[in-house]
Structure 1
């Protein structure tokens, strides 16, 4: 079995401003940098065979404090771990989008798998993330740190639990710098959720 420890990035500037990000977005807010440092302290004594990360700025800034604390494997950047693409919604506030497209926001909240802003559906996200997990599983690694986003963590969890399509919307969105741990065999025939959305941020400095 391969254990994947999935770390969501710290709070970004657009998180703080309640803007949709998708594959756009900013680096971390001051709070996000604090969250990343605390996550690094929690993870620094855990051995990882591999580190895999999304290529987006907020992930790179979240990972850096951990890389600064210890010896580590080379980081492999994998765009399949990017956040879901929300197309034209990227950069717009939640309130702005709701004012202009309330029926789409409401349909998504009801569980309809809509390509928000002309971007991706959760089904498309789930396919690419599961493909990325398969590649990690067949590598033979024992434990892998994956630094990514809330959407990929939700669909990875849904796939691990064998939830039906759309089942990811029943899961609480992962908090900034939370940890989710899944275990998979090399054929993805056996999958286990060890923990979900475990906070690393306590507010202590």
Structure 2
């Protein structure tokens, strides 16, 4: 087994606000019935990967999603507030249509006037991942359960992508995941917005 670490980034299941296209931010919305079904399926699919450590945002939608993975694997969930979604200020609870009408230019840039700066989201996400990796054995798998915007910023930071260019990574759907693996001191994106397990790669890309 390789001694290089891997990180699996899993977005939470669907909520009623996701279905209504409302900006959630740090408002503590729970999973809806579809979200619970998604989280149960993801937990069962991902369990064979054998995560060594599971860390999650303490917001209910992420915590409950992580709970399904925990029950499928027997690995206890550890909670880290650094994995919370981006704080959205006055945008929280508003639909995309409402945001585009009231803050057209800011919404196009996702520049929330009274929200959390992206740089701060990136700092706390990277720090939370590093805390999880410090508890993950060599060659092990860290599972991080968090939120769409925060995950994209966190993954971009791991890959060395500037915050302002984070959108070169497509969004993560509910209960989809991305996988990063470290190689030669750099993180590589192995999967993104996946919802099924890939076939094994027989040959390396430099074979």
Q: Structure 2 length normalisation: TM-score?
A: 0.84
1:127 aligns to what? Answer: 123
Query: Using a 3 Å threshold, how does the CA distance of structure 1 residues 136 and 63 change in structure 2: closer, same or farther?
Result: closer
Unaligned runs of 5+ in 2: 197-207
* Among 171, 174, 191, the residue aligned to 2:169: 171
Deviation sequence 1:116-149 (CA, Å, 0-9, x none):
1511122211111111222233334311111111
2:205 aligns to what? Answer: none
* Among 2, 7, 11, the residue aligned to 1:8: 11
1:203 aligns to what? Answer: none
Deviation sequence 1:25-81 (CA, Å, 0-9, x none):
411122111111110110222222211000001112212223333422x21100111
> How far has the Cα of 1:161 moved from its partner?
2.4
1:150 aligns to what? Answer: 148
2:99 aligns to what? Answer: 97
Contact 1:25 1:91 in 2 (8 A): no
> How far has the Cα of 1:4 moved from its partner?
0.9
* 1:1-205 mapped onto 2 (5 Å cutoff): 1-72=4-75, 74-106=76-108, 108=109, 114=111, 116-141=112-137, 142-184=140-182, 189-200=185-196
Contact 1:25 1:90 in 2 (8 A): no
Q: Distance in 1 between matches of 2:135 and 2:71?
A: 26
Unaligned runs of 5+ in 1: 201-205
Q: Structure 1 length normalisation: TM-score?
A: 0.85
For these two proteins, the number of residue pairs brought into alignment is 192
